[in-house]
Amino acid sequence: MTRIAIIGAGISGLATAYAIEQQAKQAEIDVETLVVEKESRIGGKILSIKEDGFLCEWGPNGFLDNKPMTLDLCRQLQIDQQLLRSDDNARKRFIYSEQVLHQMPENGPSFLKSKLISWPGKFRLAGEMVVPKRQSGGDETLAEFGRRRLGGEALDKLISPMVSGIFAGDPETMSLKSCFPRIHELEQQYGGLIMAMLRLAKKKRAEIKAGKAVASAAGPGGVLTSFSGGIQELTDGIAAALSGTVLTGNAVLQIEQKQGGFLLNLDDGQQLEVDMVVTAAPAYAVANMMDGLNDKSSTILRQIPYATMNVICFGYQQERIAFDLNGFGYLIPKAEGRDTLGTLWDSSIFSQRAPEGMVLLRSMMGGAANPSAIELSDAEVKARTMNDLKQIMGIDCEPDFVKIFRHHHAIPQYTRGHAQRLQELENSLHDSPDLILTGNAFYGVGLNDCVHAANKAAAKVVVRLEKKRE
Ligand SMILES: Cc1cc2nc3c(=O)[nH]c(=O)nc-3n(C[C@H](O)[C@H](O)[C@H](O)COP(=O)(O)OP(=O)(O)OC[C@H]3O[C@@H](n4cnc5c(N)ncnc54)[C@H](O)[C@@H]3O)c2cc1C
């Protein structure tokens, strides 16, 4: 029986443990998985808090159904019947620009009508068609890409808010290739984004005509999907399906190489002997564990920075809010100089997020561009959020319910040079095939990305076990 430790019980660690068990079973290999988690609870960034009839998500509020990974996992776990799709109105997303909320245009005609981008900005955007493909040069930041292909206004009003919505990141430092590999590929393959859209639309029409394409019910951006009890049902569901052990309240301090395996030193003095290790903890934590074991890897892992973030949940009696909360919420470009990054209208996105007659709003504050926000007192965070809600939505009453969460290490930042660093990391691990790294610090931060990476990490484990069996 091979004993495999998985360090970290976030979605990455739990999905890895589950995938190892399933894939090993198929390969008829006996394994024992042991998930080791520092906190007293599982879930990592996933935590759905129920209080006073509100359901507040501490971190993510769902996953997009336009990629198959998490949906497939839910089917395997037989929890897909409990999935809750976001309300159709949640497709309406807004950007706050020049003191007005603009609905994000969803197609060409609505883009032309929208006042979000000025006419010169629209012409510049249309000029993307004639911007030559980037032939060479180093790793381009999102800001450099945006200015080069789409113009400064589109960068400020479309790209920056998107980057802060997904990564809480600063486009001036983030790598296009690592954050949005598909966009990078589209430029390389089709010469530009508009050209890519036209070609792909043509291809899709042809496929539909030939009866080949199955039109996605999800639409191009996918539908945000969760559970009636919150996204935590996903991590709870995985943990419940594991045959191995989940050890909570035990931080791994150090991973030591031992003849034919590893020794994990835990913070309570325990030592665990295992044959293989998969780390699924944040990069800075894995760096500490690997000090002494592989200093090169530790150094590279420490170079992956994390953005901080405050999450602010406000509940109100519906009748006190005159603003029409029909939609997903809004993001705020940095140029607006507001304290919050944006606000999600959580009770409009999913049902059962607020008690009858109440609404729930969830604002984000901080991110890579405003790291000091994490230091603000609760009173200051509340006051600044209220001020933004008043300016943007005209809400000038005290919230009836307040909950403030702080993420000191919210989201890893794929900054310029990220891909090169990952290559060096992989090289540094070349001689340690029984030590595998996964988690959101490397190839995507979305839940779908984490599940995808978990499946790949599990496949590596099983390939290794098959080799050992030979
Ligand atoms: C506020 C916020 C909103 C988000 N919204 C969305 C969203 O709507 N949709 C989406 O797809 N994604 C979203 N994301 C991103 C997504 O939630 C994360 O990328 C994902 O949950 C990370 O999972 P993970 O398992 O890789 O890492 P984590 O969830 O961070 O798990 C790592 C685990 O390792 C443990 N650990 C740390 N050190 C040790 C140690 N020494 N020993 C043992 N264990 C250790 C930690 O306690 C933790 O449980 C959001 C993120 C945040 C912060």
What number does CATH give the domain 117-209? 1.10.3110.10
Distance (Å) from CA 446 to ligand 1 centroid = 10
Dist CA 136 CA 119 (whole Å): 31
Q: Identify the weakest region by mean pLDDT among 95-99, 135-139, 208-212, 261-265.
A: 208-212
Confidence of residue 213 (pLDDT cuts 50, 70, 90): low
By most ligand atoms within 8 Å of CB, the mutation choice from 14, 45, 74 for ligand 1 is 45
Torsion (CA) 318, 320, 326, 331 in degrees, nearest 10: -120
Distance (Å) from CA 237 to ligand 1 centroid = 16
Tokens standing for residue 158: 């479309």
What pLDDT does 206 receive?
A: 85
The model carries a pTM of: 0.95
Dist CA 374 CA 352 (whole Å): 29
Distance (Å) from CA 46 to ligand 1 centroid = 7
What pLDDT does 469 receive?
A: 82
pLDDT tens sequence across 227-263? 999 999 999 999 999 999 999 999 999 999 998 899 9
Count H helices and E strands in the chain, helices first: 17, 20
Q: Whose CA is nearest to atom 18 of ligand 1?
A: 445
pLDDT tens sequence across 286-319? 999 999 999 999 999 999 999 999 999 999 999 9
Distance (Å) from CA 16 to ligand 1 centroid = 14
pLDDT higher than 60, residue 219: no
What pLDDT does 210 receive?
A: 81
What number does CATH give the domain 2-41+232-304+414-469? 3.50.50.60
Q: Whose CA is nearest to atom 21 of ligand 1?
A: 45
What pLDDT does 436 receive?
A: 98
Atom of ligand 1 lying closest to residue 410 CA: 53
Atom of ligand 1 lying closest to residue 39 CA: 47
pLDDT higher than 70, residue 215: no
Which helix (H) or strand (E) segment holds residue 406: the answer is strand 401-412
pLDDT tens sequence across 388-429? 999 999 999 999 999 999 999 999 999 999 999 999 999 999
As annotated, the residues of the chain forming the CATH 3.90.660.20 domain(s) are: 51-58+62-89+305-412
The residue among 252 and 112 whose pLDDT is bigger is 252
> Identity (one letter) of the amino acid at 229?
G
**Is the CB of 58 inside a 6 Å radius of any atom of ligand 1?**
no
Q: Whose CA is nearest to atom 19 of ligand 1?
A: 445
> Identity (one letter) of the amino acid at 369?
A
Tell me, which fold does domain 51-58+62-89+305-412 have in CATH?
Polyamine Oxidase; Chain A, domain 2 (3.90.660)
Q: Which residue has the tokens 């890519």?
A: 196
Mean per-residue pLDDT for 186-190?
93
**Is the CB of 333 inside a 6 Å radius of any atom of ligand 1?**
no
As annotated, the residues of the chain forming the CATH 1.10.3110.10 domain(s) are: 117-209
What pLDDT does 212 receive?
A: 65
Confidence of residue 453 (pLDDT cuts 50, 70, 90): very high
Residue 202 half-sphere exposure, CB side, CA atoms within 13 Å? 6
pLDDT tens sequence across 360-393? 999 999 999 899 999 999 999 999 999 999 999 9
Is the separation of the CB atoms in 364 and 341 below 8 Å?
Answer: yes
Which helix (H) or strand (E) segment holds residue 302: the answer is helix 295-302
**Is the CB of 63 inside a 6 Å radius of any atom of ligand 1?**
yes
Q: Which residue has the tokens 């009836």?
A: 400
Distance (Å) from CA 171 to ligand 1 centroid = 22
As annotated, the residues of the chain forming the CATH 3.50.50.60 domain(s) are: 2-41+232-304+414-469
Return the exposure string of 385-398: e unless at least 16 CB atoms fall within 10 Å of the residue's CB, then b.
bbebbeebbebeee
Tokens standing for residue 341: 């990054």
* Percentage of the chain exceeding pLDDT 90: 89
Confidence of residue 109 (pLDDT cuts 50, 70, 90): confident
Is the separation of the CB atoms in 358 and 53 below 8 Å?
Answer: yes
Dist CA 286 CA 280 (whole Å): 8
Distance (Å) from CA 11 to ligand 1 centroid = 7
Distance (Å) from CA 60 to ligand 1 centroid = 9
What's the mean pLDDT when you consider all of the chain?
A: 94
State phi, psi for 49 to the nearest 5 degrees.
-100, 125
Hey, is 315 helix, strand or coil? strand
**Is the CB of 278 inside a 6 Å radius of any atom of ligand 1?**
no
Q: Whose CA is nearest to atom 25 of ligand 1?
A: 10
Residue 177 half-sphere exposure, CB side, CA atoms within 13 Å? 14
pLDDT tens sequence across 125-167? 999 999 999 988 889 999 999 999 999 999 999 999 999 999 9
What pLDDT does 217 receive?
A: 35
